[in-house]
Structure 1
Amino acid sequence: MFKIGEFSKLTQVSIRMLRYYDETGLLKPAQIGQFTGYRLYSVEQIHTLHKIIFLRDTGFNVSEIAVALSNWDNTFITKQLKNKRQEIESIINREQQRLAKIDIAINDIMEEKISMNYNVSLKSIPSYQVLSLRKIIPNYFSEGMLWEELFNFIKEENIDIPKNSSDFAIYHDVEYKDADVDVEVCVVVNRMGESKKGFTFRETEKVETMACAMVYGPFENIGPAYETFAHWLMQHNQYKMTGQNRQICHRGPWNEKEPDKYLTEIQIPVEK
């Protein structure tokens, strides 16, 4: 048996960490001296300690390490490592997105473009006959899969769509959400048909007053457009927001190769 100081030297792990592993239950001393109260460790525990350090250094937390140690076999550990790899890859992807945003912000500051201004106009939106698909989707970036489903259905059912038909998305949540968003995508049709398979023919609501702004460039520019709406509402405090926001992508990935040439219309219903 080795005292904690001796075990620390032999394993190159600090006494502080050995005490921490004791407190968390990951590596209890093999014995506690009956009269001295010293923590005593066995040579067999070195292998367990190496497992703990390996898992810690690959991103496992205390509870995950405890589960791994109690279920240690090649199949289980391989599965846990693959899961951890996917988790780390997701974190790296999020951090890379943050780095990209920082780079964009730096460039914008250098070019004095950090403050974008959008013109807000008011117009009346009529009721439309539409074919729509409404679902809860993981996030706003997943909207594309709804459009793909809708246009595949239109093609399969040979549905009559007007030339240069309008299409738009309606956001039914009363607040911005990070996940599980309620989105409806709509395409204007010449005539109503039979609703089926989750695809619905309906008439959209007429909106007497819609505040609209055209957003040029990549979808990242949409966020600042909403800030413009906030300033506009402060300056025109006779209006308040009501109903569901809409979004029309006039030019996007399907008909424009360069993101700088995208054109998105943001629509927010307002009333006095």
Structure 2
Amino acid sequence: MLFKIGEFSKLMQISIRMLRYYDEAGLLKPAQIDEATGYRLYSAAQIPVLQRIKLLRDVKFSVAEMAVALAHGDERAFIGELERKKAELEEELRLERQRIARIDRALRDIREAGPTHPCEVSFKSIPSLRILSLRKIIPHYHCEGMLWEQLFRFIEREHPELRQQSHRNLAIYHDEEHKEADVDVEVGVLVEWAGNNGDGCSFRETEPVANMACLMVRGPYENLERAYQSFACWLERNQYQMTGMSRQICHKGPYNEADPDQYLTEIQNPVRSLA
């Protein structure tokens, strides 16, 4: 027995318009087309396919993704596509939660103290530092963790002697401007002496900085943006100008602190006085 498109629409609780759309998209062709009338006819054997299409639609599969998931009728391939979409949605959810948290912080800042906060800046003379570092162009700043993972894999294999300091990890940002993509970042650890280079990792000495403006930022890394804004106000108010590459020193972070609210990051910027 075959069902006319209207009957199939009622039984499956899906509009005729969508059935025609799935036909045109190649996802669900009618079982038969009546040669005399041109009517689309469907069979009960097509119900499982339509159920899968409705599931895929409801969990935000595009038509192209549906076509891939349904291509061969392979159960394992279908499960694999569902797992892939699940991971994609979980990442979207994580990003949405970050956006909500950012809105919450902005609301708190506006209600409590306005959009910017005063910052305490200290000055240091930074000598040349012997480091083992990895420098790469990465897609965006959030990918910095990949550099640290690669660097620490090299350290685990080569066992260079690290300096016994609480703040031995640093990141150097080589771009002259903030970039939305393809950012030039170097991550490094302080070492006692140079060893053999490899896997993109190399031993070198940093440039000394006579006048480094430093400020401490507590809490999760999302607080860094607000700290830089406050630092900009400080530069203008005190008539200082940045003169080189900014650095960040991780005193407390994911490697030694479980609670992001307890992170402690030091922002360092070479400056000169305009006064």
Please say whether Structure 1 and Structure 2 have the same fold, judged by a TM-score greater than 0.5.
Answer: yes
| Partner in structure 1 of residue 251 of structure 2 | 250
Cα deviation for residue 63 of structure 1 reads: 0.8
Native 8 Å contact 2:169 2:188 kept in 1: yes
Distance 1:133 1:181, change over 3 A: same
Of stretches 40-49 and 145-154 in structure 1, the one that deviates more from structure 2 is 145-154
**Structure 1 segments unaligned to the other structure (5+ residues):** none
1:1-272 equivalence runs, <5 A: 1-30=2-31, 38-43=38-43, 44-109=45-110, 111-112=112-113, 115-120=116-121, 124-135=125-136, 139-142=143-146, 145=149, 148-149=152-153, 152=156, 156-157=159-160, 159=161, 161=163, 167-176=169-178, 182-190=184-192, 192-198=193-199, 199-232=201-234, 239=241, 241=242, 243-253=244-254, 259-270=260-271
The letter for the 2-side match of 1:42 is Y
The letter for the 1-side match of 2:144 is Y
TM-score, length-scaled by structure 2: 0.74
Cα deviation for residue 248 of structure 1 reads: 1.3
Native 8 Å contact 1:140 1:181 kept in 2: no
Cα deviation for residue 250 of structure 1 reads: 3.0
Secondary structure at the residue paired with 2:207? coil
Native 8 Å contact 2:9 2:15 kept in 1: yes
Q: Distance in 2 between matches of 1:160 and 1:22?
A: 64
Cα deviation for residue 215 of structure 1 reads: 1.6
Of stretches 55-64 and 211-220 in structure 1, the one that deviates more from structure 2 is 211-220
Cα deviation for residue 176 of structure 1 reads: 4.3
Q: Distance in 2 between matches of 1:10 and 1:258?
A: 53
Cα deviations across residues 248-271 of structure 1 (Å, max 9, x unaligned)?
A: 123445555664454322123456
Secondary structure at the residue paired with 2:214? strand
Secondary structure at the residue paired with 2:197? coil
Cα deviation for residue 2 of structure 1 reads: 4.2
The letter for the 1-side match of 2:135 is R
Cα deviation for residue 72 of structure 1 reads: 0.7
Native 8 Å contact 2:248 2:268 kept in 1: yes
Q: Distance in 2 between matches of 1:167 and 1:48?
A: 54
**Structure 2 segments unaligned to the other structure (5+ residues):** none
Q: Distance in 2 between matches of 1:112 and 1:266?
A: 22
The letter for the 2-side match of 1:186 is G
Cα deviations across residues 179-204 of structure 1 (Å, max 9, x unaligned)?
A: 775433334445x4333234433221
Native 8 Å contact 1:139 1:180 kept in 2: no
Distance 1:214 1:22, change over 3 A: same
Distance 1:165 1:218, change over 3 A: closer
